[in-house]
Structure formats: C-alpha cells, structure tokens
A = this chain, B = another copy of it.
C-alpha cells in the first residue's frame, strides 16, 4: 500500500517530470530562446506562478534530476568497510551510482541531446551540486585510510567525479556501456595516466 504522504510525493514528482519534459521538448523543438517560463507553463498546462512552485529557476527544469546527492554519497561511503582504502571505496560508490543510471537511461536521452547542443546548461546546473559535494564529502574522504594529505583527498574526489562524467559523456558519444567505460577510467586512475 501507499501512505497518503507517499502518494502526494509521487504525484508531485510526476508533475515535476511532466513540466521538465515540456520544457525540454520545447527547447529541442523551438530553440533555447523560445523557452520562457510562460511558454513552458502553457505547454505544461499550469500557470507561470505554479512553475516556480516546482522549480526554483527556469534552468532547473531543463536538466535532469541529479543522480548524486551529497547525503547519499556520505551514506554510501559510511556503508563501506571502515578499513577499506579511500580509492577503493570511491570506486565502489561510483559504480553504484553508475548502476543507478541504467534504468533511467532512456528518459535521459532528451536531456543529453539538449546538453550537447548547449553545454553550459548542464555544466552550470552541475556546478552547484559539485561544490556542495566537495564540501560535504571531503571530510568523509579524509577520514578514510590511505589518504596521505590534503591534496590527496581533493584529488580523489575530483577524479572520481571526473571519471563518472567522462564515462557518461563518452557513453553518450560512442554507445559503449557506461560501466565498462567507468572501469576503464578507474583503471587509468589506479595505475596512473
């Protein structure tokens, strides 16, 4: 069964996604300039004011929901065996996150297409997430065994995300499976590029 709260949550998420799709379709069909809040709202059959009940900004509606959230990552790291070296833990976490991508790969396509045409979009949206992750997770990485210094922790994090982003982009460009590419990327990091 479904509690009333879950029900509301789900509905809200569905509507959010519907608005997103309307926005992205509009952007792909008519160009980014055609995407005004007014136009999106009309397409999604809501009032402009309501749009902002679902998204804090217009941009937010044009990119997909982030697959990595700081708390998630901290939690996933905490779940790894305490004596596991940092690099190994991060690799495991990255793999787990990559797996999450698979079931939504198809729905991601329009967003990827849009990101290809307007690379600033996804980058800008991701930027906020990334710094937040850096700040939140850096402490957790430092606490892991096998971290030799301040810059080591930073490099571990930044390269982990570099690997994920590279894998996703390369996968979109070549159609190779993400996980395979992610393994390649981590192999490079492990033995040195």
Contact = CB atoms under 8 A, between A and B. Distances in A.
Interface size class, chain A: 35 or more
Contacts of A155: 162-163, 166, 185, 188-189, 193
A1 B165 CA distance: 48
Interface string A126-156: 1110111011000000000000011110111
Nearest to A156: B193
Interface in A96-141: 119-120, 123-124, 126-128, 130-132, 134-135
This protein's copies in its complex: 2
A149 B173 CA distance: 13
Nearest to A147: B193
A169 interface: yes
Contacts of A167: 151
Given A120-B128, A132-B119, A165-B158, A174 B188 contact: no
A191 B128 CA distance: 31
Contact of A181 (B120, B151, B159, B170): B151
A123 to B, nearest CB: 4
13 contacts: A119-B131, A123-B128, A123-B131, A124-B127, A127-B127, A150-B174, A152-B188, A154-B170, A155-B185, A155-B189, A155-B193, A156-B193, A158-B162
Given A119-B132, A158-B165, 12 more contacts: A123-B131, A127-B127, A149-B184, A150-B170, A150-B173, A151-B184, A152-B193, A154-B166, A155-B188, A156-B193, A159-B162, A191-B192
Interface of A: 87, 119-120, 123-124, 126-128, 130-132, 134-135, 149-152, 154-156, 158-159, 162-163, 165-167, 169-170, 173-174, 181, 184-185, 188-193
